[in-house]
Amino acid sequence: MALDLFLADEAATIRFGEDLALALKRGDYVALHGDLGAGKSTLARAIIRAIADDAMLEVPSPTFTLVQSYDLRIPVAHFDLYRIADAAEIDELGFDEALSDGICLVEWPEKGFGALPADGITLRFLHEGDGRRVEIDGPASALARIRRSLAI
Ligand code: ADP
Ligand code: MG
């Protein structure tokens, strides 16, 4: 069963990222869907800082570089595919290697020309009033891990 959360403000998105970080493991692909300003980068930054155990870690947006990699306890690759030109770039960016090594967080996965796995953890951000709703879907085993980390 998919999960559904309301995040009232930016602080709630950050807390959600910190909890989610506890659930993630090597080989997890997290697809971050949502419009511009929906909160994808805010969440990715919170996950990366939590895994780094460093609340001040610089986490620049990979808008132009398409990927930023973090050599952490579990390596994390943060992709933003908004400006990707063709599917071959996903290979060139080293998506498969990054996934075998660690965790891949991908903003704008729908721009990936279907070259990304279909069995990832999917987060869908929607504007709701001044806050955001996030729908979480994925394999049952991943959802069970996430539910435990969120204590729901
Ligand atoms: P995206 O990467 O999806 O384009 P960003 O994370 O860069 O979005 O920006 C999201 C904006 O919304 C930021 O200004 C952030 O402070 C704000 N924000 C994040 N989460 C929430 C929330 N739950 N409620 C309201 N505003 C939020
Ligand atoms: Mg972003």
8-67 per-position pLDDT tens digit: 999 999 999 999 999 999 999 999 999 999 999 999 999 999 999 999 999 999 999 999
What confidence score (pLDDT) does residue 75 get?
98
Interval between CA 43 and ligand 1 midpoint (Å): 8
pLDDT confidence band for 114 (50 / 70 / 90): confident
Write out residues with Cβ below 6 Å of ligand 1: 7, 9-10, 12-13, 34, 36-42, 107, 130-132
Single pTM value for the model: 0.97
Q: Which atom of ligand 1 is nearest to the CA of 34?
A: 3
- What separation, in Å, do the N-terminal and C-terminal C-alpha atoms of the chain show? 13
Nearest CA to ligand 1 atom 18: 10
Is the pLDDT at 98 greater than 80? The verdict is yes
Is the pLDDT at 90 greater than 90? The verdict is yes
Nearest CA to ligand 1 atom 21: 10
Q: What is the ipTM of this complex?
A: 0.99
Interval between CA 2 and ligand 2 midpoint (Å): 23
Domains in the chain, CATH or no CATH each: 3-150 (3.40.50.300)
Q: Which atom of ligand 1 is nearest to the CA of 131?
A: 24
Q: How many CB atoms are located within 10 Å of the residue 87 CB?
A: 13
* DSSP for residue 83: T
- Section 87-114 average pLDDT: 95
Interval between CA 38 and ligand 1 midpoint (Å): 5
- How far CA 52 is from CA of 23, 58, 97, in Å, comes to 14, 11, 20
Of 53, 52, 51, 102, nearest to 79 (Cα)? 102
What confidence score (pLDDT) does residue 152 get?
81
Is the pLDDT at 1 greater than 80? The verdict is no
Interval between CA 15 and ligand 1 midpoint (Å): 13
Nearest CA to ligand 1 atom 5: 39
